[in-house]
Structure 1
Amino acid sequence: MLNTDGSLGRSEAAVVSLLLIEDDPGDALLVEEMASDAVIDFGIVWAQSLDEARTRLGTTRPDCIVLDLNLPDAHGLDALEAVLKYAPGVPVIVMTGLAAEQAGLTAVAEGAQDYLIKGVVDAELLTRSVRYAIERKRAEHAAAALQASEQRSRENARLERGLLPVPLLRSESVDVVTRYRTGRAGGLLGGDFYDVVETRDGAVHVLIGDVCGHGADEAALGVNLRIGWRTMVLGGVDVETKMNTLEQLLVAERPRSHIFATATSVVLSADRRSIEVVRAGHPGILLRTPDDVQWLEVPGGPALGLRKQSGTWRKTTIEIDERTGLVLFTDGLFEARIDELDRLGEDGLLEFARELGSDCSGEKFVDSLIARVEALAAPHGGLSDDVAVLHVQWADGDGRS
């Protein structure tokens, strides 16, 4: 019989909860009787109108909805459309009269999982229809989630190719090692980016940068900055002008006004005797000399996008031994936690680098350095941010560093 709270039958220990939207008390009782004869336990809440159903859906989420297409305040597909809006993701079974079977077929085409015909349905058919509706909706959710995941993976792959390109080298005169590690398993794509370009005069141009934040917008902005930088390198723009232009590009393209980016640009001269460095709020560089590993942090300007007006970033020229290797990286490499309170920091990273020494190859040095940082961070949740690392070094006569 009808309960005073609007429920029908055994709802306290129900396995499957149903919201029955039906204005006819007789038809509602018939559904309750079929449910009582079913092999599974149904808990049925009865709503006599669409408006009442909307109120109930505001406080509870049923496993399935059984909907009469002829209600006092909604009719046909309008009723279905409203229910799908009020209860997104909940499977819906519509009920029609024998003469309106086509309406049931149309409703399935418009988003219902199944339809039942009054006067024909019995306990077995009701049970089977409810189970089918629930499983079909679950399958739809799984398929949609898989499709969305695959689409995100494809989009991320395209963005990562833009952020982390193959170096554009014209000769075998320079060895380049590049590595990238994500700091969030299954998390959002970061905005770390890098590039290496060898120009016709034999100079090697290197860029590394990091857009603050994570997500597709930040990654796309990083791609824009990297492509803009490569275009300017190939166009012969000087190193200081490139940084000013990158800031203008960032301000014009960023989706939100608070977003900024750090960057370091380095030019290895063709005579192998010096480098030119321009730094915009980015961490320093590790120099692997024949005898030691040093931390180089030249004077620089603020990060891109933080100033109200563009200005000139200072270029610093440094003489180097041609056997020196340059290691550029984003801050995720030294922000790894070493305990609950402290992070590795720049001094800790330099200590690790010096322990590895300057005798090993660039590839072994980079891989070993990242492995040590990852091992250190593993007990504390892993890397807290993405890590991009570049190792650039002039090659010997056989193309080996």
Structure 2
Amino acid sequence: MAVSQPGAAGLTSPVGDSPAALWQAREPSVLLVEDDPGDALLVEELVADSTLTMRLRWVRSMAEARASLADETPDCVLLDLHLPDARGLEALATVRASADQVAVVVLTGLAEEETGLAAVAAGAQDYLVKGRVEPELFGRAVRYAIQRKQAEQAAVALQASLMQAQENARLERGLLPRPLLNGSGVRVVARYRPGRAQALLGGDFYDIVQSADGTVHALIGDVSGHGPDEAALGVALRIAWRTLVLSGVTGAEQVFRLEEILVAERVRSEVFATLTSLTAAPGDPRVRMVRAGHPGLLLRTVGGATEWVDVRGGPALGIIPGLAGWPEQELPVPPGAALVLFTDGIFEGYVGRGRDRLGEDGLLRLAREMAGLDAEPFVDGLIQRAEDLAEAQGGLADDVAVLHLNWT
């Protein structure tokens, strides 16, 4: 076999059936940077006699090496540190600057082992002493250098991924709602479970704000879809809602403004959002509600009764932008009763292995079975039992948000 000259096509040494020859599906490509033809011939013979099949390409200078690396990225560079246009660690730095993802094995002279060690400390994967390398050792050195470089890159990528995941988690935690309550008149239990794996935030959203006079404002909603775009839109709607509440905008006017924001911020025209917004003034036995395409709610009374409640509303936001109307309705709330608002992810899961879903009737049945429980165990139990029923098909796939409000 002849070494591939600069500008010529790379040649391949004979292929064997040994485990080393089957190390990877394709033969590793090796770029030899060596200005001495005699040393290049020694490397050629090592390649030919090695049990590791590889493609070898030879260039004589750093300038030719840079041109070759720009044209094709090899798996490994065999680098002589005494080139006419680059010497010592300068040559190594140049190769790494041209192709940092490539493994580098430095070739040193008999009296230059300290230089080889310095090169490894500077980023090379290994060094070989010319004239002291057997073919088997040579093949192992190249193979291990490539694997070591791949392991280094994987470790760097993993660290970057972990840092990004931690940053995303911090960002998502910061975007989750923090109820703005003054501590009197209302008790709130809120639960949120995103449908996306390893996420803290989904397309569902909720919020609670209590104004200075004790009036409680609550919101729950659901953006269609489950990805990060939907999560971002849900956050935008929640923050806009809180801003509107603090500015004194409530009722149908509030929902009109939220639809304008949805239309402006959504990434696709088919994206829509459902929501229910309510306002409860202190001492008033009624709550005022606006419902936009959202499911009904549960009413839990002091006597243990649980009922499904629907109030008249309008279509989801974004379905017919600018043309819909959302009437404000009043709902009587008995003393000590609680309202439970939720998104449809809690009752759209499948029951067992069939295609039947839990549905609104099934959710009401579960709620009635836990009628005597206090707020927190009731909410947690409701979500858990819905999850258990859907376990045979992977659990609840959609985002789930639940708000339990009762006035004291």
TM-score class, shorter-chain normalisation, is 0.7 to 0.9
1:9-88 equivalences in 2 (<5 Å): 9-13=14-18, 14=21, 15-16=23-24, 17-21=27-31, 30-31=42-43, 33-35=45-47, 41-45=51-55, 68=59, 75-84=64-73
Q: CA deviation at 1:309?
A: 2.3
Q: CA deviation at 1:18?
A: 1.2
- Distance in 2 between the 1:27 and 1:313 partners? 84
- Distance in 1 between the 2:48 and 2:214 partners? 84
Q: Secondary structure at the match of 2:248?
A: coil
In structure 2, relative to structure 1, the CA distance for the partners of 1:218 and 1:81 (3 Å cut) is: farther
Q: CA deviation at 1:32?
A: 5.4
Preserved contact between residue 272 and residue 322 of structure 1 (Cα < 8 Å)? no
1:210-359 equivalences in 2 (<5 Å): 210-290=222-302, 291-338=304-351, 339-357=353-371, 359=372
Q: Secondary structure at the match of 2:329?
A: strand
Q: Secondary structure at the match of 1:228?
A: helix
Q: CA deviation at 1:77?
A: 2.6
Is 2:171 aligned against 1:158? yes
Partner of 1:108: 96
Percent identity for Structure 1 against Structure 2: 42
- Distance in 2 between the 1:45 and 1:155 partners? 43
Preserved contact between residue 226 and residue 399 of structure 2 (Cα < 8 Å)? no
Preserved contact between residue 78 and residue 105 of structure 2 (Cα < 8 Å)? yes
In structure 2, relative to structure 1, the CA distance for the partners of 1:286 and 1:379 (3 Å cut) is: same
Partner of 2:209: 197
Q: CA deviation at 1:128?
A: 2.7
Preserved contact between residue 7 and residue 44 of structure 1 (Cα < 8 Å)? yes
In structure 2, relative to structure 1, the CA distance for the partners of 1:128 and 1:323 (3 Å cut) is: same
In structure 2, relative to structure 1, the CA distance for the partners of 1:259 and 1:307 (3 Å cut) is: same
In structure 2, relative to structure 1, the CA distance for the partners of 1:168 and 1:189 (3 Å cut) is: closer
- Distance in 2 between the 1:20 and 1:141 partners? 21
Partner of 1:55: none
Q: CA deviation at 1:389?
A: 1.0
- Distance in 2 between the 1:23 and 1:170 partners? 73
Q: CA RMSD in A?
A: 3.1
Deviates more, 1:8-17 or 1:247-256: 8-17
Q: Secondary structure at the match of 2:72?
A: helix
Q: Which has the larger radius of gyration?
A: 2
Q: CA deviation at 1:216?
A: 2.6
Picking from 357, 368, 375, the partner of 2:381 is: 368
Partner of 1:142: 155
In structure 2, relative to structure 1, the CA distance for the partners of 1:213 and 1:69 (3 Å cut) is: farther
Amino acid of the structure 2 residue aligned with 1:114: V
Is 2:106 aligned against 1:93? no
- Distance in 2 between the 1:300 and 1:12 partners? 74
- Distance in 1 between the 2:78 and 2:322 partners? 63
Deviates more, 1:9-18 or 1:165-174: 9-18
Q: Secondary structure at the match of 1:201?
A: coil
Structure 2 unaligned residues grouped into runs of 5+: 3-9, 110-128
Is 2:202 aligned against 1:183? no
Q: CA deviation at 1:21?
A: 5.0
- Distance in 2 between the 1:304 and 1:70 partners? 66
In structure 2, relative to structure 1, the CA distance for the partners of 1:142 and 1:283 (3 Å cut) is: farther
Q: Give the TM-score, by structure 1 length.
A: 0.80
Q: Secondary structure at the match of 2:289?
A: strand
- Distance in 2 between the 1:37 and 1:259 partners? 64
Amino acid of the structure 2 residue aligned with 1:229: W
- Distance in 2 between the 1:68 and 1:127 partners? 23
Q: Secondary structure at the match of 1:193?
A: strand
In structure 2, relative to structure 1, the CA distance for the partners of 1:114 and 1:261 (3 Å cut) is: same
Amino acid of the structure 2 residue aligned with 1:347: D
In structure 2, relative to structure 1, the CA distance for the partners of 1:215 and 1:183 (3 Å cut) is: closer
Tell me the alpha carbon deviations over residues 269-293 of structure 1, each in whole angstroms, 9 at most, x when there is no partner: 2224011111112111111123411
Amino acid of the structure 2 residue aligned with 1:198: Q
In structure 2, relative to structure 1, the CA distance for the partners of 1:308 and 1:230 (3 Å cut) is: closer
Structure 1 unaligned residues grouped into runs of 5+: 49-66, 396-401
Q: CA deviation at 1:188?
A: 8.5
Preserved contact between residue 290 and residue 329 of structure 2 (Cα < 8 Å)? yes
- Distance in 2 between the 1:385 and 1:221 partners? 16
Amino acid of the structure 1 residue aligned with 2:72: V
- Distance in 1 between the 2:361 and 2:200 partners? 29
Partner of 2:146: 133
Q: CA deviation at 1:27?
A: 8.0
Q: Secondary structure at the match of 1:194?
A: strand
Amino acid of the structure 2 residue aligned with 1:287: L
Q: Secondary structure at the match of 1:393?
A: strand
Figure out how many residues of one structure are paired with residues of the other and give that number: 365
Q: CA deviation at 1:368?
A: 0.9
